Structure 1
Amino acid sequence: MYTRTAASKWLKRLSFRSTAFNRTSETPTSINVPIFSSRCNVKSSSRNNSNDYRDGYLNGFPWVLFSGPAAAIILGINSNPVLAKDAPSKPSSENGIEESDTIGLRKVEDGSVISNLHTSKWRVFTDNARDLFLQGKLEEAERYFVSAIQEAKEGFGERDPHVASAFNNLAELYRVTKTFDKAEPMYLEAINILEESYGSEDIRVGSALHNLGQFYLVQRKLKEAGNCYERALKIKGHVLGYGHVDYADTMYHLGTVLYLLGEEKDSEALIQDSIRILEEGGLGESFLCVRRLRYLAKIYMKSNNLFEAENVQRKVLHIMELSKGWNSLETINSADGLASTLYANGCLNEAQELFERCLDARKTLLPKDHIQIGANMLHIARVVMQSSKELKATDISKAVIGIDKAKELLSNSIRISRGALDKISKHGEKKKIHEDGETRRDGRTALLILLQSLDALGHLEITVQEMKVSKEDPSLVQAENVLFECISAYQKFKGTTFETPEVKAEYFSCLKRLSILISDDKTSRQRRMSSQDLQDEISRLEVELSPYRKQKS
């Protein structure tokens, strides 16, 4: 209960940069999840070598709050995708709200509004706009929303809550279409009308503030979003109670804002508590709870708290196994994320076992040359390479077997990713691939996996040479060839929409490895790139990638 008490005290202060969540030694660091005993000893976080493991090399899961029109109009405080209709004129329960009112600005029949032509038209316009919006017909929906505003003004009065509801609906549409300059005045006017009608502590004001917070968040106006969520959270806590799921919803959104602002401890505490409220309300296995657990794991990973990240990811996987089984890519992706964390934690045996289970499951659900299968092979190869590196001092024969397995996996990963890129390039002859969002995304993923696999194979060839006694073994020549293949693959797509910061970072890693290899002077004398050219390219990329690295750190 510590975080809930802290949250209450923090909200009373309404100070945006909070210190109320500083933990004591008695504060639990988990989120009331069962602690699953790991089959490995957790090792130092220094095991997370940047050349061998990269956070989110495939399974980052870029965080998106809004995804399409159907999810965008969220006037309810429980984030239900429903459109606002009439607002109630007076409370009909002891705490000032009814169950139906907790959805936000909704239709309420209180008998106080005289039915007339304007009222009927307002209802028709609102309903039609909602239906068109959910169908993705945004221009038509906009016309109906504008008409609904006019009818609300004529039928109910300029400062009536029905007008606020209509303003809020149109503002949400403008948010979705990114017409932000039109949306903001309407959000603010809707809030002003509701405050005039019901007072600043009314739940409908809280709902409207939550919507305005979402509007600011999607533009990354984080301080403005945080202020809105703080005000909404205070209202919801007073009206609904501090254990209400809708209170937890705004708490979660505020936590995401604090995370983006770098307030990781405060963010962690808020998101933990929002999860606990869902669990206590019987929603511990819901989609909302799983999404919040994943976000919490992301926070733990960023702060290098790998043990807590592992515990949360184990819980997510357990929920997904129960709800969807292994015949689901969602479950497989959850397992893949846990395996990556286990690898970073040094739990190599369990990580390999889980990655291999993911690979077997993907092969039953996806085409044999799907890029996710190639990525999965890359993941296993990295684990096997690390295991072989540790075995070479104690059991060289097992280490060699592991190296051979890793080489085969990487070769297949390279083959699959190259095939995917070739297919996309041929597809581009008939269709502009850079205008096709799905093709563009697949191409970026395939190029990223190709560069990572080639870089890993170059590293593997260097490792093979280190395990041999003979200095005349040509493995380093092979390593040089593989690393130049990595450079060529990048150059082929340089300047295209496939050239993302992640792709550039992989190219940079390849250049660094090749630079070290050439400086040792153990490879072929016929250079395809001089040491100075390599250093110049590395220096250029260091400057270019600096903003990206700061954003990730």
Structure 2
Amino acid sequence: MPDMNDAESPHPVDVDGAQASPGGVVARNERALTEDQALERDAMLTHKAAYNLGREYHDQGKLSEAEELYDRALVGYEKERGADNLDTLRVVYDLGWVYHDQGKLSEAEELYDRARAGFETKWGVNNVLTFTTVRRLGEVYYTQDKLVEAGKMFERALVGYEKKFGADDLMTLALVYDLGQVYYARGELVEAGKMFERALVGYEKEPGADDLVTLGVAYNLGQVYYFRGKLAEAGRMFERALVGYEKERGADDLEALAVARDLGQVYHDQ
């Protein structure tokens, strides 16, 4: 009986020892390939379903459930599409976001940084998702008191937001304010003042001068003026914030009381 690898064998020998025609082998392999492709499609549908359900849970504030599903989806996406695939990177970003919302800052930092690097490679630094990820990474750094790193991320993200949305867009102004907070925490009062002033002008247009967000910016700008020795300007900001807080929240509100205390200190120092 000829060996299955014998050069004189006219056809390949099937696994059960019977001779198989080339057409039969091809057909069987094609069926196997089709079945494998179907299984792969089914697997990706499962991973995508896990990811989409994770997003639903995330939107509902069910963070533990969202984390579990994102984590499961990430393993699947990495296996099926690769670690650097854009769909995989989106899952990485959202899992980082869930960690961020849960206060798991080290884990969030790691995933945001991975997503940022991937988005930069695929789309460049000026893509919306790239600089949004940069901003979120800055938020994580700020919360961890990594102020130098936070400043770099916010400055970089600000360029992208200004270019994409414009200088007066509310998302841009929020980032301007956040950058001012970083400068303030670093003791860079001149730079902080510039950011707060710019944010204040923008917020006065929208959402308006009496909005609580605007009042908060005015109060923080007053603090910058105070520590720079500009007592008259500080007093004006504190007075404005106090009137607004009392109107919106009442005289006994904690924030109103804090502003009243600081305004009293200004009067004392003058």
Same fold (TM over 0.5): yes
Q: How far apart are 1:367 and its partner, in Å?
A: 7.0
The answer to whether residue 196 in structure 2 is matched with residue 310 in structure 1 is: no
Distance in 2, Cα, partners of 1:307 & 1:193: 49
Per-residue CA distance 1:187-244 (angstroms, 9 max, x = gap): 2331233234433222211111001111222333322222211221122112222111
> What is aligned with 1:177?
62
> What is aligned with 2:235?
352
> What is aligned with 1:164?
47
Which residue identity is paired with 1:325?
A: G
Q: How far apart are 1:376 and its partner, in Å?
A: 3.4
Distance in 1, Cα, partners of 2:257 & 2:244: 13
The answer to whether residue 148 in structure 2 is matched with residue 256 in structure 1 is: no
Q: Which moved more, 1:187-196 or 1:331-340?
A: 187-196
Q: How far apart are 1:294 and its partner, in Å?
A: 2.4
Q: Secondary structure at the match of 1:159?
A: helix
The answer to whether residue 262 in structure 2 is matched with residue 379 in structure 1 is: yes
The answer to whether residue 82 in structure 2 is matched with residue 199 in structure 1 is: yes
Q: How far apart are 1:164 and its partner, in Å?
A: 2.0
Per-residue CA distance 1:385-441 (angstroms, 9 max, x = gap): 112xxxxxxxxxxxxxxxxxxxxxxxxxxxxxxxxxxxxxxxxxxxxxxxxxxxxxx
Which residue identity is paired with 1:275?
A: L
Q: How far apart are 1:341 and its partner, in Å?
A: 1.7
> What is aligned with 1:269?
152
The answer to whether residue 77 in structure 2 is matched with residue 190 in structure 1 is: no
Structure-2 change in CA distance of 1:213 and 1:368 (3 Å): closer
The answer to whether residue 245 in structure 2 is matched with residue 342 in structure 1 is: no
Distance in 1, Cα, partners of 2:249 & 2:100: 38
Which residue identity is paired with 2:62?
A: T
Distance in 1, Cα, partners of 2:88 & 2:217: 38
Distance in 1, Cα, partners of 2:250 & 2:75: 58
> What is aligned with 1:284?
167
Q: Secondary structure at the match of 1:252?
A: helix
Q: How far apart are 1:272 and its partner, in Å?
A: 0.8
Q: How far apart are 1:282 and its partner, in Å?
A: 3.1
Q: How far apart are 1:249 and its partner, in Å?
A: 0.5
Distance in 2, Cα, partners of 1:360 & 1:183: 42
> What is aligned with 2:101?
218
Which residue identity is paired with 2:198?
A: K
Kept in 2, the 8 Å contact 1:339–1:352? The answer is yes
Q: How high is the TM-score relative to the length of structure 1?
A: 0.38
> What is aligned with 2:214?
331
Q: How far apart are 1:316 and its partner, in Å?
A: 0.6
Distance in 2, Cα, partners of 1:236 & 1:292: 20
Q: How far apart are 1:368 and its partner, in Å?
A: 6.1
Kept in 1, the 8 Å contact 2:131–2:161? The answer is yes
Q: Secondary structure at the match of 1:200?
A: coil
Structure-2 change in CA distance of 1:263 and 1:236 (3 Å): same
Q: How far apart are 1:289 and its partner, in Å?
A: 1.9
Which residue identity is paired with 1:159?
A: A
Q: How far apart are 1:319 and its partner, in Å?
A: 0.7
**Which is greater in Rg?**
2
Query: Of the two structures, which has the highest relative contact order with CA contacts closer than 8 Å and spacing of 6 or more?
Result: 1
Structure 2 stretches of 5 or more lacking a match?
A: 1-37
Per-residue CA distance 1:161-197 (angstroms, 9 max, x = gap): x32222123334555224x2x5444223312332344
Per-residue CA distance 1:427-462 (angstroms, 9 max, x = gap): xxxxxxxxxxxxxxxxxxxxxxxxxxxxxxxxxxxx
- The alignment covers a number of residue pairs equal to 230
Per-residue CA distance 1:29-68 (angstroms, 9 max, x = gap): xxxxxxxxxxxxxxxxxxxxxxxxxxxxxxxxxxxxxxxx
Kept in 2, the 8 Å contact 1:168–1:190? The answer is yes
Kept in 2, the 8 Å contact 1:275–1:284? The answer is no
Q: How far apart are 1:370 and its partner, in Å?
A: 4.9
Distance in 2, Cα, partners of 1:262 & 1:337: 19
Q: How high is the TM-score relative to the length of structure 2?
A: 0.75
Kept in 1, the 8 Å contact 2:158–2:176? The answer is yes
Which residue identity is paired with 2:127?
A: H
> What is aligned with 2:184?
301
Distance in 2, Cα, partners of 1:220 & 1:327: 32
The answer to whether residue 133 in structure 2 is matched with residue 247 in structure 1 is: no
Which residue identity is paired with 2:231?
A: L
Distance in 2, Cα, partners of 1:216 & 1:362: 33
Q: Secondary structure at the match of 2:165?
A: coil
Kept in 1, the 8 Å contact 2:158–2:172? The answer is yes
Kept in 2, the 8 Å contact 1:205–1:232? The answer is no
